[in-house]
Amino acid sequence: MKYKGFNDILVNNWPGVSRVGPDTLRMAHHAGQQAGRTVLDIGSGTGFIAIYLRAQGWRCMGVDVNSAALQCANRNARANNMKLEFKYSDLFSDVSGLFDLIVFNPPLGHTSAPAAPLEFIKSLMPRNNRVVIAIVYFFVGKQRRELLRRFLEQAPRYLAKGGVVMMSLYRPEMSLTGSWKTEVLEEVNGLRVVSLKRLD
Ligand SMILES: C[S@@+](CC[C@H](N)C(=O)[O-])C[C@H]1O[C@@H](n2cnc3c(N)ncnc32)[C@H](O)[C@@H]1O
């Protein structure tokens, strides 16, 4: 599908891969407003955010733990004639270098591979249904917060000087961002797009 308003990029969803949703579009929109040249997209899914930023001239790396997502994102990059690689990494495990921007739209559920069955079910779910999200969060919220903690602890090592982290977080998760200067860029149904800078 072609996304008007997002440089007309072509991005297709795949079964088993987290779908492009309103949260994806919000993250991509706000990421595109940032100053900088290099971006790391953690949990890249279909590749939408990295592909959009590449179309805006950024140098991008996308990583995910879901092999179906990596295949999907690499195919979407080729459909846009982009030299853009999506590769396996569990958060930063296979990443090196410093980035002006690190984007993370974290999963609601699974935090480690292989979790293909759950990812498949989630890819068919209505992403913005508050009841579904509340039920899923009840079961996986603790696991998600652990992933967020791990991410926030490791991210500073990969941020260039003055760099920014951009994440989507539910309101109660804001307490995890203690040692960061946070700015809420947008909030819809309790889900925030947040930019984070190091305090030191
Ligand atoms: C909510 S989706 C976001 C996908 C895409 N960035 C978007 O906004 O549409 C979360 C993604 O994070 C990936 N993921 C989950 N745990 C991960 C981990 N430990 N390291 C890297 N990616 C992970 C999932 O496979 C999934 O593709």
In 3-state terms the chain splits into helix, strand, coil percentages (rounded to 5) of 40, 25, 35
Total Cβ atoms within 10 A of residue 52:
25
Mean pLDDT lowest among 28-37, 112-121, 148-157: 112-121
Atom 11 of ligand 1: nearest residue by CA position: 43
Structure token digits, residue 31: 């990421």
**DSSP 3-state assignment of 115?**
coil
The model's confidence at residue 49, banded by pLDDT at 50, 70 and 90, is very high
Q: CATH number of the domain at 2-168, out of 3.40.1160.10, 3.20.20.70, 3.40.50.2000, 3.40.50.150? A: 3.40.50.150
Element (H, E) at 9: strand 9-10
Instruction: Report pTM.
Output: 0.90
Cα–ligand 1 centroid distance for 81 (angstroms): 23
Q: Whose CA is nearest to atom 16 of ligand 1?
A: 111
Q: Ligand 1: which of 3, 27, 42 to mutate, most ligand atoms within 8 Å of CB?
A: 42
pLDDT at 111: 46
* Strand 159-170 with 180-188, pairing: unpaired
Atom nearest to 108 CA in ligand 1? 1
Domain ranges in the chain?
2-168
- Ligand 1 center to 73 CA (angstroms): 12
d(CA 32, CA 138): 32
Kindly state the DSSP code that residue 11 receives in the 8-state scheme: -
**DSSP character for 81?**
T
Among 47, 33, 45, 149, residue whose Cα is nearest residue 101: 33
Contacts of 157 (CB under 8 A, 6+ apart): 92
Mean residue pLDDT of the chain comes to 89
Please calculate the CA angle 89-198-88 and round it to the nearest 5 degrees.
5
pLDDT at 24 over 80: yes
The pLDDT tens digits of the residues spanning 134-147 come to 666 666 678 889 99
